[in-house]
Structure 1
Amino acid sequence: MAGLVMALTFGFRRECRKSRRQLRALQQENHDLKKALDAHAIVAMTDTRGVITEVNDKFCEISQYSREELVGQTHRVINSRHHPRSFFQDLWATISRGEVWAGDVCNRAKDGSLYWVQSTVVPLLGKDKRPVQYIAIRADITARKEAEAKTQKMALHDTLTGLPNRRLMKDRLAMAVSGKARQPGFGALILMDLDQFKEVNDTLGHAVGDELLQQVSERLTRSVRKMDTVARFGGDEFVIILDNLGIDCAGAVDSVRRVAETLRMALAEPYQLAGRQIEITPSQGAVLFNSENDEPGELIKQADIALYEAKGAGRNQLCFFDPALQAETVERALLVRDLRQAVDNDEFKLFYQPIVDTHREVKGVEALLRWFHPKHGMVPPDRFIPLAEQTGLILPIGQWVLETACAQLAAWQQDMQRKEWTIAVNVSGRQLNQTSFVGLLRRVLQKTGAPANRLRLELTESVLQDNVESTIAKMNELCELGVRFSLDDFGTGYSSLSYLKRLPLEQLKVDKSFIDDIFEDSCDAAIARTIVALAQSLEIGVVAEGVETPEQMKWLVENGCQLFQGFLFSRPVAPEELAASPIKLSS
């Protein structure tokens, strides 16, 4: 019996030692788990009312509050006001049902700084399956949130200026428009670009251009209200969104004008860049909006139309959108679309207006382009030629004109009456500035077999004002081929006599505007007389354009003019309609 007792006692002691070892191991494991949790997690326990009953060191460290300052308080002590009330109402509704809640929370530390935590709140349930306390386990994700915010900022802001980019601008414009359902009144969109900005880039380099854009963005931001948006639309274009301009349209227009003038004056102050003083001006187009049904994309288009009008009106000014402008812009766009296809569709035709001598004998013709649109009929040259210049279509169209005129010259070589005639072709600055222009014309002459000495290129004074040295060099190359030159509309530009004498010209053409009033305006008569005398002194010919009456012709002959062009002799006609020489005077 004693042995049995001893055995049982020994066994009991052995089990006790084992239990104590297991308990110590469990305690050590719990200690290690708690240590690991405290090292990496932010932990707090609360009662069912949300009052904090326990926090770990990590909580105190990130919140900057001591344990004594936290225990007995609710989590309102670290509320950042970042989240709406509904956010926490949802949290409490979830954990009150005994369910786990998880989400990202922005809190405020004791010094006022914000930090983000990824939070999991676990309800601890009693026997009745209802929460008796809550444990919140959090991880610091501030760095991740800051990286996300930085990435988002990069996606929505211009990297050069830091301003909202096109995407964010469109979002804010959409918000401003939709807000009219709640807050009636006018807002406005201003689209702005910098006049002659390309010259800054071209002459001083893109680095200086970028610095200029940065300074412009700073001035624009300082010149508007905090509630307004200044965005970079792209390149040198900026957008300003103004809201809450009142319910009176006239008052809203006045407000936009005041803002636009403030912006203009702010940008007008000189800039010191790369050791140089730079001045630049803005052109601005504005459109008002006051309905939630306004289409943001359409507003941008309308502001762009107004901006185009401002630049066309001389730059450095503000223009408001007018629906009539939109109709004109749409019509222009459709015309440009059709103009692109006009050469391929064989819609162009050259008409010729005779140039006659004092005996009314034809010495040559001027080739004049006519566009016969399949829907609109003949489109006036003053409508489509400027469009061709602006869009660059003047290059393929101009080549077609040269080829067609040279083919006509070649054909006239078989006509005894017309083989000595010249054809004058107008050449734009854009054509002449092509580096390949001389070679292009040489190939046209070779292809058509046209005599080069019967081709006369007409240039305007404005063409000669750009790249003078390059232009003279090209003219001399073409003269070596036999091509001749006329200076068209002489007297209407700003010709410099210092380079006029260097130009290999064969003719000056007196503009029609001086011929019209030679009997009513003594100044026009004096100018016409002076041009004829100048041509004679330079030993070049002179042609009077726009001659419409016998009296005008008589006066011009008496004053030394030898060649004439105008309705008195013939309107521009198709080549097969050119009259025999001499031409009878029109009645």
Structure 2
Amino acid sequence: MHSSDHQVSTNLRSRDASTLSLDLLLSNLPGVVYRCQNDDHWTMVFLSAGIEKLTGYPVSVFTGEHAMSYASLIHPDDRAQVYADTEAAVRERRPFQLSYRITTAAGKLRWTWEQGAAVHDEHGNVIALEGFIADITLLRRADQLVLEQASLLDKARDAIFVIDMASRITYWNAGARRLYGWEAHEAVGKRMQELLCDDHAAYSEAWLHAVTEGEWAGELQQHRRDGTLIQADTRWTLVPADPASGVVQKILVISTDISERKHNEARIHRLAYFDALTELPNRASLLDHLRRALIGSARSHKFGALMFLDLDNFKTLNDTHGHAAGDMLLQAVARRLEHSVRETDLVARLGGDEFVILVQPEEDTLDAAAYQAETVAAKVVSTMRAPFQLADFAYSVSTSIGVTMISGAVDTVESALKQADTAMYQAKAAGRNTFRFFDPEMQAKWTARSELESGLRRALRNHEFILNYQPQLDGDSRVIGAEALLRWRLPNGDVLYPTEFIKAAEETNLIVDIGRWVLGTACVELAKWQGNPVTRHLSLSVNVSARQFVEPDFVAMTQEILAATGVDPHFLKFELTETLVVTDFTHTVATMETLRRLGITFSLDDFGTGYSSLAYLRKLPLDQLKIDYSFMRDVLTDRNDASIVRSIIALGGSLGLQVIAEGVETQGQREWLSQEGCFVYQGFLYERALSGEHFAAYASCLH
């Protein structure tokens, strides 16, 4: 073979090898290489074998005389945009990139990605289009899935974000934007503890637990962009790294705003354990704290104290100035009590005007605890003495305090409360405005008092009360009236006098119901007198307690009884005590004036035993002063008593008031009184208290 023939043969083999190599390369490409004419049908000049895998049609379908137009495979909704984008790229002499759907031979839709460019001749004319087409259906689906998942995450109500191992935020959903206020571009790249967390210790604990255990759940206090704080229920999940996909280790954080729930829980807790008016712990809270204190005391062998406080004469303020003033006083008292104890001690309100102080068991000996309790009690009594400013007036109130020592070794919640309550009544019995420690002997008295209270309630139900009438006579020994005196006939026949039960009735407020019964019964008797010509001129005095007189409906109740019995009120006299007058002078005078317009007259009972004041006396619409029997007992032998009685008689005369002496038991007392100018008497010298029937007979005899 000639050398020239050998060269030609070598070139042919080289060209065939290159062609085979190019064909092999094109057949292995994950797509289609093409060359087509720049016409409306994109008439194919060349297609690689990948077209069959992409479309389901072989290469031969797109070439030849009756070739299929590749453009016909493009989805109708995408075709116009593909044409437009291609023409624009050709016109601007730049490559084009297209993404569109095609319909395969099997009728399925596939997403394709195409990149190509125009081929120009030496004159710049477009002679063909060349490019590459790839199947991106799987990628498109993956993108769609990512978009769908991102959309779902954005629709979640919870805040969802991701932080890397440097605590920097890498993902931030719409829920996080709504909860915290930062946009995604503002939050991404920021460190979580700096953006959201003020409590770095709590954050560090959560971080460490999530990294070491794979998960952490709990509550974190976080702040929003505007600075407001929220409580978030948060779950952290460690997402492991995936080296195959290049994903690094991260933490997924899901947070739910529970601020409203926490607020409601706190509100419910406050309603359950705190008094709404004073904001002090209530009875339920006190019982819980006392139980815990006793348990702790039993373990530590420490001693503490429990104090029971009651405001003296609090009801008077409510009755005279209204409940708003009473509420203001209770709130002011609560604040003073809080400032009178140590931070470790507890002040609680049981209800009404009753408060309790728990001095925590912290002392090693009973004596030391008693000294501490005495210090607190004395401070409270002293602090309460200063007047309280209530709106436009000042009001003074004192407190009676019962103190009992507590030890978990011997006391229970019930026994401690009972002993403190008993000691409080001992303080009241000692004159109020003071404190007393629990004395075991007082327990017996308290039991008797409780039984007495139950008996009083029974007496009202079973009509065990009776009224007797002690005659009142003038200087000529004629009966001019009587005082109605209450007696209690027990089921066994024994009779109790007011000194044995009235105090208990006043302390329990039963005196109001008893007083109503007394007035009604007395008026029924007075009506009988007024129906008898012999007794129609007699007056009847009825004792009215301070508790009863300040009742808001006292005047209305009196009018109702007068109307029901039909008595002439000009013969009805109310006996009031000095204590009532001094307690609330303005209200007392107003009520007296109202009743006086009905015809009722007034006598000041026990005059000289209380806080007598001429300033008060001359302003009261009184008709009579009554000399107390305590002065009459020794008026003939005690110069002081005699001087006091003379002064009362003289005072009554100067004020134009009738003066009556009770407790007149001897003729000598009666003669002395007559010589001093007192001419109305009541006492055993004449007669004891009689039943209604016997009094009528007695009065008729002395008519």
TM norm structure 1: 0.71
| 2:672 pairs with 1:555 | yes
Structure-1 residue corresponding to 2:124: none
CA deviation digits over 1:169-190, x for unaligned, max 9? 4333332223234322223333
Pick closer, same or farther for the CA change 1:386–1:228 going to 2, 3 Å. closer
Alignment equivalent of 1:523, drawn from 640, 647, 664: 640
Alignment equivalent of 2:137, drawn from 21, 25, 49: 21
Q: Distance in 2 between matches of 1:484 and 1:107?
A: 71
SS in 1 for 2:453: helix
CA deviation digits over 1:106-130, x for unaligned, max 9? 4899xxx99744326489899xxxx
Structure-1 residue corresponding to 2:555: 435
* Residues 458, 486 of structure 1: 8 Å contact kept: yes
Q: Distance in 2 between matches of 1:207 and 1:554?
A: 54
| 2:189 pairs with 1:63 | no
Q: Distance in 2 between matches of 1:60 and 1:500?
A: 86
| 2:367 pairs with 1:250 | yes
Instruction: Give aligned-pair identity as a percent.
Output: 36
Structure 1 residue 369: deviation in Å? 1.1
SS in 2 for 1:350: strand
* Residues 103, 118 of structure 1: 8 Å contact kept: yes
SS in 1 for 2:664: coil
Pick closer, same or farther for the CA change 1:77–1:304 going to 2, 3 Å. same
* Residues 80, 107 of structure 1: 8 Å contact kept: no
Aligned CA-pair RMSD:
5.2
* Residues 301, 409 of structure 2: 8 Å contact kept: no
- Which has the higher mean CA deviation after the structures are superposed, 432-441 or 15-24? 15-24
CA deviation digits over 1:122-162, x for unaligned, max 9? 89899xxxxxx997553254645654564456444556665
Q: Distance in 1 between matches of 2:363 and 2:677?
A: 68
* Residues 280, 348 of structure 2: 8 Å contact kept: yes
Pick closer, same or farther for the CA change 1:452–1:553 going to 2, 3 Å. same
* Higher relative contact order (CA closer than 8 Å, sequence separation 6+): 1
Structure-1 residue corresponding to 2:514: 397
- Which has the higher mean CA deviation after the structures are superposed, 202-211 or 565-574? 202-211
Q: Distance in 2 between matches of 1:172 and 1:536?
A: 62
* Residues 220, 234 of structure 2: 8 Å contact kept: no
AA matched with 2:204: I
Alignment equivalent of 2:234, drawn from 112, 118, 123: 118
* Residues 189, 240 of structure 1: 8 Å contact kept: yes
* Residues 547, 564 of structure 1: 8 Å contact kept: yes
SS in 1 for 2:685: coil
Structure 1 residue 372: deviation in Å? 0.9
Q: Distance in 1 between matches of 2:338 and 2:206?
A: 29
Pick closer, same or farther for the CA change 1:324–1:62 going to 2, 3 Å. farther
| 2:352 pairs with 1:352 | no
Q: Distance in 1 between matches of 2:515 and 2:629?
A: 24
Structure-1 residue corresponding to 2:89: none
- Which has the higher mean CA deviation after the structures are superposed, 537-546 or 366-375? 537-546
Structure 1 residue 296: deviation in Å? 3.1
* Residues 438, 478 of structure 1: 8 Å contact kept: no
CA deviation digits over 1:484-538, x for unaligned, max 9? 6544333334455567567776654322111111233112112223434455566
| 2:597 pairs with 1:477 | yes
- Which has the higher mean CA deviation after the structures are superposed, 277-286 or 237-246? 277-286
Q: Distance in 2 between matches of 1:477 and 1:396?
A: 25
AA matched with 1:25: R
Structure-2 residue corresponding to 1:229: 346
AA matched with 2:160: A
Structure-2 residue corresponding to 1:104: 218
Q: Distance in 1 between matches of 2:395 and 2:571?
A: 49
AA matched with 1:41: I
| 2:255 pairs with 1:139 | yes
AA matched with 1:175: R
CA deviation digits over 1:532-559, x for unaligned, max 9? 4455566665433212334333433444
| 2:155 pairs with 1:41 | no
- Which has the higher mean CA deviation after the structures are superposed, 271-280 or 343-352? 271-280
CA deviation digits over 1:26-76, x for unaligned, max 9? 256347747976994244699xxxxx999845698573269xxxxxxxx99
AA matched with 1:342: A
Structure-2 residue corresponding to 1:377: 494
SS in 2 for 1:64: helix
| 2:303 pairs with 1:186 | yes
Q: Distance in 1 between matches of 2:167 and 2:565?
A: 99
SS in 2 for 1:227: coil
Pick closer, same or farther for the CA change 1:161–1:387 going to 2, 3 Å. closer
Structure 1 residue 371: deviation in Å? 0.9
Q: Distance in 1 between matches of 2:321 and 2:395?
A: 10
* Residues 464, 471 of structure 1: 8 Å contact kept: no
* Residues 297, 408 of structure 2: 8 Å contact kept: yes
SS in 1 for 2:306: strand
- Which has the higher mean CA deviation after the structures are superposed, 423-432 or 211-220? 211-220
Structure 1 residue 350: deviation in Å? 1.7
Structure 1 or 2, whichever has the larger Rg, is: 2
Alignment equivalent of 1:79, drawn from 191, 200, 205: 205
Query: What does 1:313-328 correspond to in 2, within 5 Å?
Result: 313-328=430-445
* Residues 79, 108 of structure 1: 8 Å contact kept: no
AA matched with 1:335: L
Q: Distance in 1 between matches of 2:254 and 2:383?
A: 50
Structure 1 residue 228: deviation in Å? 3.2
Structure 1 residue 328: deviation in Å? 3.8
| 2:405 pairs with 1:288 | yes
Q: Distance in 2 between matches of 1:151 and 1:211?
A: 23
* Residues 108, 114 of structure 1: 8 Å contact kept: yes
Pick closer, same or farther for the CA change 1:134–1:471 going to 2, 3 Å. closer
Structure 1 residue 224: deviation in Å? 4.2
SS in 2 for 1:458: strand
Pick closer, same or farther for the CA change 1:33–1:266 going to 2, 3 Å. farther
Pick closer, same or farther for the CA change 1:189–1:11 going to 2, 3 Å. farther
CA deviation digits over 1:296-340, x for unaligned, max 9? 355445434444544554554333344444544454344334434
* Residues 589, 621 of structure 2: 8 Å contact kept: no
Q: Distance in 2 between matches of 1:222 and 1:11?
A: 93
AA matched with 2:137: R
* Residues 362, 583 of structure 1: 8 Å contact kept: no
| 2:599 pairs with 1:489 | no
Q: Distance in 2 between matches of 1:540 and 1:553?
A: 19
TM norm structure 2: 0.61
Gaps of 5+ in 2: 1-22, 28-46, 57-111, 113-132, 173-187, 196-200, 224-228, 243-248
* Residues 80, 106 of structure 1: 8 Å contact kept: no
Pick closer, same or farther for the CA change 1:365–1:299 going to 2, 3 Å. same
Paired residues, number: 542
Q: Distance in 1 between matches of 2:621 and 2:392?
A: 42
CA deviation digits over 1:199-224, x for unaligned, max 9? 88899998888777667656655554
AA matched with 1:373: L
Pick closer, same or farther for the CA change 1:53–1:205 going to 2, 3 Å. closer
Pick closer, same or farther for the CA change 1:375–1:560 going to 2, 3 Å. same
Structure-1 residue corresponding to 2:81: none
Query: What does 1:424-463 correspond to in 2, within 5 Å?
Result: 424-429=541-546, 434-436=554-556, 439-440=559-560, 442-446=562-566, 455-463=572-580
